[in-house]
Structure 1
């Protein structure tokens, strides 16, 4: 686990060199097909060398949820262990990790009539006005939801009206879910926040060089996406969409995307901070792969470590 741009995918591939793992993506953006550059999806060589699961599941106009992730992840993990391998969960979508390990909160099912009513009110008054209403009903939820995030405002208000309780209170209730595995939890956490910010900026610049703008243009036109589409709310994609619609210029788009990614990393670190029974590594350490390997060697894994790792040999073995 860890915030964006901490090198989780690289460490996962390194682990695959000495343990019989298959990677399960815990990333709410990598589930979308055709969204490769902006989600930092593993390249073809990595995907061929090590089996990856829960990547490229749906098209950009479709919806995904923590409940669907939990179902798909459990299926993938059963299949992986059935082959005698180890599921290696890798990603930064902390809500998905929490749902899988602790279970889902007892939130009510969606109510079509109530959602339509909320949408009609939003058309008349704007989503910021409904966000102000949410601030009165559920200050904790309003504090973590942007005034323009229509989907999350709608859901939080829906839960308030259906249950008579703030959604934040329901989410804080104890969960009871049996997780039938022994998890070894590792966090990649930057020792220097400024260095992480530099990494974030450099990575987004590489995405632009690789053709992120064309990628967003293609999927937006093909699937007729707009700013309310779930995929277009992903960090980076939202800002490029604004640039394509002439709402901001190129430099402003870049700056906004980098700031939004920093904010995402901050939220991810907030999720991780109270976690217990975890081993934290500084993602900026030069000998990070060796540190992780030594930790896993002593973690009680009942498997033999591979002594060497050859990409070509690995490719042949997996395919």
Structure 2
């Protein structure tokens, strides 16, 4: 195929997509653009598995670690940031290499996401305060009364999406299904993009997740979580959902041993990876190339793209 306008690399957590994105970007003269909802936050480099400087291979990375812990952030905000970034990259002749595990970001990028309204700050702050006070299970019951269809699609333990559904309902008065018709304008034309998703062996991925969290602990994840939790607004912001933050807080409080905190974090990460895999399987069509590992993906890309090797 001809040189693509963009390259999209998706995959579950710990699948090796960040290193693959660097390898591809170096070959095509590209910039890696974050498409992961947790890696946008400042203060969580280790726990969000954000690439360190020495892992970037000299390649420019954008939209990483730039959002304060207490700032509201969503797929719509991310899409507007990408919209502002793309003209700059194109002017410099840089191919954007989107990399991440947040399927909704890729859906938005390709035009399968609705242009939802901005949430007034008063509404956002009121629901956030209730979430902090009452918890996600209680607000899931509230959502069931307002928008039962949306509530049925969301886990009672998913505060981010419960908040979003409640905020949108109060802002528009319409159920989520009516607002989400996949009719938004895309920033990348699917036919001119190279799209791939990593689909590693489940047992191998589970082992990689465990090894990676052990490496995070060795690198200072507990200290990072403590420093992050002390920042203004961190406890009630969406970034507090990052795996490891709550578990390591319980370790500091003496509620868990390090082994227990580690095992809970690994289990949560494996559950998250499974949800990601399910999303990619059902939401990504046959135009997405699927590869079991990054080396296989890179070899296939080198064969498909002129001058990539």
* TM interval, short-chain normalised: 0.7 to 0.9
Distance in 2 separating the partners of 1:69 and 1:123? 24
Distance in 2 separating the partners of 1:121 and 1:178? 34
| Residue in structure 2 matched with residue 62 of structure 1 by the alignment | 71
Deviation at 1:81, TM superposition (A): 1.6
TM-score between both structures, scaled by the size of structure 1: 0.81
Cα contact 2:144–2:152 (8 A) shared by 1 = yes
Deviation at 1:42, TM superposition (A): 1.4
Deviation at 1:148, TM superposition (A): 4.5
| Residue in structure 2 matched with residue 312 of structure 1 by the alignment | none
Distance in 2 separating the partners of 1:35 and 1:67? 22
Which of 280, 289, 309 aligns to 1:272? It is 280
Cα contact 2:196–2:289 (8 A) shared by 1 = yes
| Residue in structure 1 matched with residue 28 of structure 2 by the alignment | 19
Distance in 2 separating the partners of 1:55 and 1:5? 17
In the superposition, relative to structure 1, how do residues 148 and 207 fare at CA in structure 2: closer, same or farther (>3 Å)?
same
| Residue in structure 2 matched with residue 185 of structure 1 by the alignment | 195
| Residue in structure 1 matched with residue 14 of structure 2 by the alignment | 5
The yes-or-no answer on 1:207 pairing with 2:220 is no
| Residue in structure 2 matched with residue 174 of structure 1 by the alignment | 182
Deviations 1:194-241 (A, max 9, x none): 2111111111111111110011111222x1455422211112223223
Q: How does 1:68-87 map to 2 (within 5 A)?
A: 68-87=77-96
Cα contact 1:8–1:90 (8 A) shared by 2 = yes
Cα contact 1:138–1:168 (8 A) shared by 2 = no
Distance in 1 separating the partners of 2:225 and 2:245? 7
| Residue in structure 2 matched with residue 228 of structure 1 by the alignment | 236
Cα contact 2:22–2:56 (8 A) shared by 1 = no
Q: How many residue pairs end up in the alignment?
A: 296
> Tell me, what secondary structure is at the counterpart of 1:241?
helix
Cα contact 2:136–2:157 (8 A) shared by 1 = yes
TM-score between both structures, scaled by the size of structure 2: 0.84
Distance in 1 separating the partners of 2:232 and 2:133? 24
In the superposition, relative to structure 1, how do residues 170 and 217 fare at CA in structure 2: closer, same or farther (>3 Å)?
same
Cα contact 1:150–1:228 (8 A) shared by 2 = no
| Residue in structure 1 matched with residue 293 of structure 2 by the alignment | 283
The yes-or-no answer on 1:129 pairing with 2:138 is yes
Cα contact 1:107–1:170 (8 A) shared by 2 = yes
Distance in 1 separating the partners of 2:26 and 2:252? 41
Q: Greater shift after overlay, 247-256 or 87-96?
A: 247-256
> Tell me, what secondary structure is at the counterpart of 1:158?
helix
In the superposition, relative to structure 1, how do residues 46 and 123 fare at CA in structure 2: closer, same or farther (>3 Å)?
closer
Distance in 1 separating the partners of 2:135 and 2:66? 33
Q: Greater shift after overlay, 199-208 or 45-54?
A: 45-54
Distance in 1 separating the partners of 2:215 and 2:263? 14
| Residue in structure 2 matched with residue 263 of structure 1 by the alignment | 271
In the superposition, relative to structure 1, how do residues 166 and 226 fare at CA in structure 2: closer, same or farther (>3 Å)?
same
| Residue in structure 2 matched with residue 251 of structure 1 by the alignment | 259
Distance in 1 separating the partners of 2:129 and 2:68? 27
Cα contact 2:76–2:115 (8 A) shared by 1 = no
> Tell me, what secondary structure is at the counterpart of 2:197?
strand
Where does structure 1 lack aligned partners over 5 or more consecutive residues? Answer: 298-303, 308-319
| Residue in structure 1 matched with residue 7 of structure 2 by the alignment | none
The yes-or-no answer on 1:110 pairing with 2:116 is no
Deviation at 1:24, TM superposition (A): 0.8
Distance in 2 separating the partners of 1:115 and 1:66? 16
